[in-house]
Amino acid sequence: MAKKEQVLLIGNGTLITLGEANRIIQDGAVLIRDGVIEAVGKTATLRKKARGATYINAKGKLIMPGFVNTHMHFYSTFARGLCPKQPAAKNFVEILDRLWFPLDKTLNADDIYYSTLVPLISAIKSGTTTMIDHHESQGFQLGSLDVIEKAVRKVGIRGCLTLGASDRYKKGQDGVEENVRFLKKIQAKNRKGDDMVTGMMGLHALFTVNEDTLKVTCDLAKAFNTGVHVHIAEDKADEDFNKKKYKKTVVQRLYDAGGLGPKTLAIHCVHINKAEMNLLAKTDTCVVTNPQSNMNNAVGVAPLLDMLEKGILVGLGTDAMTPGMVDDVRVVNILQKLANKDPRVFFVESCNLLLNNNGTIASRFFQKPVGVLKKGAYGDVILVDYDPPTPLNGNTFLGHFLFGICGARVDTTVVNGKILMQEGKLKGLNESAIMAASRKQAAAFWKRF
Ligand SMILES: [Zn+2]
């Protein structure tokens, strides 16, 4: 028996397509068939094509693509309220040594499962529909990505997963093995048409990775036709270490190992120089900036204007400060203005990072486009409760976005044509039960930490 088609029509709202030809369609609609957008247009026109469709009335709401988060760490969840090892860390390296390294080394399978579910629920509520995650759990690596995959599939968000291999405890090989095992499994599923979860190779950062682990990871990234998800020059300490030990800048070392390319995610790049930028531009490598995290760790401000000027594709991540995107897009705007002492910069750029570049980046990892409402893209859509107090049109959209829409309530979240939240209510997930289980799990984890 043929599988019944799943058809969803969302109409009667103000539709924002995003993408290269961003259009704003009043009384707009999007028609999604079996997870993929079939048409975008006027509600009256699409109604005729959508017989038998489930209908969502978006009256008084914006219909937009779901947000994409291009750098997240689900595993950080149990840090909330946790007291790090004392005395208090006074720099980035100490923050790793006293909080993040001991935390990830303590995680077991159940810890990882709940650490993943919790931010994913928050992502649904804040309209984030695709997450590119970077995992670390040095005490339990082999099989850890399966645990994350299970949680991602349960929640129903689109995810690209990796483990950041590292030699900090002489276990780099386990991290590489886990990525290989997971990629073999997930790419077999992807070939059969499943595209909800994908994978890539990953490294923690070049100052905790030796030459063998670096080279084998870069070679495998090529073999699997994926890139490397890796922290680059987040703190000056990364550059100093690599220059001292390898006589190379961080980006040069990754380039020499064959690790740069369109599917590589160079996270942070706060302390890179012009020559490193040229290598990133030449290889079409993606950079992901995480402004709130950089401020929180007091590591510096990424030279984003220089990178954009060189044509580097820069996306926006949260580095686990929040699962949702709206705080970081507002922060990157004001941080870059302040750092450059120029109020003219980064209004358009900040919106571009999130609304255009993140979709472009994520689309490199999935079989169909994400982050845009157009025919053939995935049906990942949000409704935002936003009644514009001033005229909303193509010329004014970014002002509305940064200063209004970002603070508005996400009403409905749809991923792959499936309704995950409607009118503010989660579907198919018992949030309070998950939070209660997470609290119990976290309390036990804190005792082991
Ligand atoms: Zn990170």
Predicted TM-score (pTM) of the model is 0.97
Say yes or no to pLDDT of 219 above 80: yes
- Distance of alpha carbon 58 from alpha carbon 51, whole angstroms: 18
pLDDT of residue 204: 98
Closest C-alpha among 262, 184, 172, 276 to residue 215: 172
Ligand 1 centroid from CA 41, angstroms? 38
Closest C-alpha among 27, 1, 23 to residue 12: 27
Ligand 1 centroid from CA 265, angstroms? 11
Say yes or no to pLDDT of 9 above 90: yes
Ligand 1 centroid from CA 218, angstroms? 19
pLDDT of residue 111: 98
- Distance of alpha carbon 128 from alpha carbon 355, whole angstroms: 12
Say yes or no to pLDDT of 337 above 80: yes
Ligand 1 centroid from CA 320, angstroms? 7
- Distance of alpha carbon 182 from alpha carbon 144, whole angstroms: 9
Which range has the worst mean pLDDT, 1-15, 332-346, 414-428? Answer: 1-15
127 three-state secondary structure = coil
Ligand 1 centroid from CA 132, angstroms? 11
Ligand 1 centroid from CA 282, angstroms? 24
Q: What is the pLDDT of residues 226-252, one digit of tens each?
A: 999 999 999 999 999 999 999 999 999
Q: Which domains does the chain have, with CATH numbers?
A: 7-65+370-424 (2.30.40.10), 67-363 (3.20.20.140)
Ligand 1 centroid from CA 66, angstroms? 22
pLDDT of residue 20: 85
Q: Which residues hold their Cβ within 5 A of ligand 1, which is an ion? A: 319
pLDDT of residue 170: 72
Ligand 1 centroid from CA 134, angstroms? 7
Average confidence (pLDDT) over 426-430: 97
Under 8 Å between Cβ of 359 and 325: no
pLDDT of residue 88: 93
Average confidence (pLDDT) over 47-70: 96
Under 8 Å between Cβ of 307 and 275: no
Ligand 1 centroid from CA 72, angstroms? 6
Ligand 1 centroid from CA 61, angstroms? 34
Say yes or no to pLDDT of 172 above 80: no
Say yes or no to pLDDT of 1 above 70: no
Average confidence (pLDDT) over 400-406: 98
Q: What is the pLDDT of residues 303-333, one digit of tens each?
A: 999 999 999 999 999 999 999 999 999 999 9
Say yes or no to pLDDT of 21 above 90: no
Q: What is the pLDDT of residues 181-206, one digit of tens each?
A: 999 999 999 999 999 999 999 999 99
Ligand 1 centroid from CA 114, angstroms? 19
Share of the chain above pLDDT 70, in %: 99
Edge-to-edge strand list for the sheet holding 158-161? 67-72, 128-133, 158-161, 197-199
pLDDT of residue 51: 87
Ligand 1 centroid from CA 288, angstroms? 10
Average pLDDT, the chain: 97
Average confidence (pLDDT) over 163-168: 96
- Distance of alpha carbon 368 from alpha carbon 359, whole angstroms: 11
- Distance of alpha carbon 118 from alpha carbon 110, whole angstroms: 13
- Distance of alpha carbon 374 from alpha carbon 354, whole angstroms: 18
Ligand 1 centroid from CA 294, angstroms? 10
Ligand 1 centroid from CA 418, angstroms? 29
Residue 377: pLDDT band by 50, 70, 90 thresholds?
very high
pLDDT of residue 321: 97
